[in-house]
Amino acid sequence: MINGLVYLDNNATTACYQAVVESMMPYWSQVFGNTESIHQAGRKASGVVEQCREDIAATVRTRPHQIFFTSGATEGNNFIFSSYARTPAVRKRVAVSAIEHKSVLKAAEALAPLGFDVVKLPVNTDGIVDVDKARMLIDDSIGLVSVQLANNETGVLQPVSDLVELAHEHGAYFHCDAVQALGKMTIDLQELGVDSASFSAHKIHGPKGVGFIYIASGSMKFPFVFAYKGGGQEHGLRPGTVNVPGIVGMATAMRMLPSDAKIHEMSELLRRFELGLVASGLPCVFHGDRAERLPNTSNFALCGIPADMLIANLPTLCISTGSACNSQEVAPSDVLKAMGVSDDEALSSIRVSLSTQTTEEEIDYAIMEISRATSRLKELLS
């Protein structure tokens, strides 16, 4: 427990590793030069950033010139849609999955007033984008397709490689919000075949406010007009003073990504959690459990118990109703609704997301507390 809390909301954000915090310290006050300055302090900072770029590129199995630093995945997603919208003569239709994070859905919807049509690719009841239906919707009128690698609420993996192939058959550009998958599965961007992908450090025990975007073409052959203007940093793709400490922290976190063995241990803890809920006699309905999921994510409904009420009665557990971006809304999850889940069931749904630092004791404690709170609330509501 950290400060008396069991933290099981790692899809929202993670705690920085101590090694990450320590790696950043010199770059606040010792190696603090602006990477664009030509003096020694600037050159030293620039060299550190380029080493981080090389290390990060190697981790996701691509090349340094294809990695560009951002403030996080939300910025990366918005950059792609904004750049596309600024480009003359592009096709006026874009396609996104119905279960995308708001940073993709809202960015796509913002194109509508500019004369673009937004096509939403449906998912099946397991929360997987239906490739057959996508095949009927993606044609030569679509210029941009964006589908996430793994859903942030259910953890369900998406058939990205199949959809990339489909998009490219019709000459469309393919972007992927890959933020939730990093650190929970092996990511080989060359093999995945996407044209761009966005990531955030704070999902992998790195610092908040820093991330990167992968651009397969590099900056010189990027097919759209850059959305941002400024001093030319990041080869003009993302101008602005470079966040050296954040990039160092992110690179450190990338070097510490869990091994396959650690990921397997996390998946076994998730299994222990779900089986424990069932064994406790709780009326659980698991969402997306028949599909291939991230090894850390469980989304389930305790039917008849409002999720916000349950969370309010679990003061020592950090769990959520879904995306942290929607946590203040008492409304059914758009992701669950797209899967055909009823409003009542969606409003009773909880997301639990583990990390490699989660322990068996924390899992058992969570099961016990959820069971106790559910019993109390059943009595109150009966």
Is the pLDDT at 324 greater than 80? The verdict is no
| Each residue's pLDDT tens digit, 14-58 | 999 999 999 999 999 999 999 989 999 999 999 999 999 999 999
**pLDDT for the residue 303:** 86
Note the pTM of the prediction, 2 decimals. Answer: 0.95
Segment 143-148 shows an average pLDDT of: 98
Class of domain 6-15+259-381: alpha beta
What is the pLDDT at residue 329? 59
The pLDDT mean for the chain works out to 95
Q: How confident is the model at residue 1 (pLDDT cuts 50, 70, 90)?
A: low
Domain extents in the chain: 6-15+259-381, 18-255
Structure confidence at residue 366 as a pLDDT band (50, 70, 90): very high
Asked if the model's pLDDT at residue 323 lies above 80, the reply is: no
Write down the H helix ranges in 87-188: 102-109, 131-137, 160-169
| Beta strand extents in 137-210 (DSSP E only) | 142-146, 173-177, 196-200
- Statement: residue 327 has pLDDT above 60: no
325 carries an active-site annotation: yes
User: Which of 16, 52, 318, 325 is the catalytic position?
Assistant: 325
SS3 298: strand
Are 68 and 235 contacting, i.e. CB atoms less than 8 angstroms apart?
yes
Contact 298, 351 (CB under 8 A): yes
Alpha helices in the chain (DSSP H): 18-24, 26-29, 40-59, 73-86, 102-109, 131-137, 160-169, 189-192, 244-255, 260-279, 307-312, 334-338, 343-346, 360-381
Distances (CA, A) of 3 to 6, 7, 176, 316, 318: 9, 10, 36, 9, 12
Given 3.40.50.300, 3.90.230.10, 3.40.190.10, 3.40.640.10, which CATH number is that of 18-255?
3.40.640.10
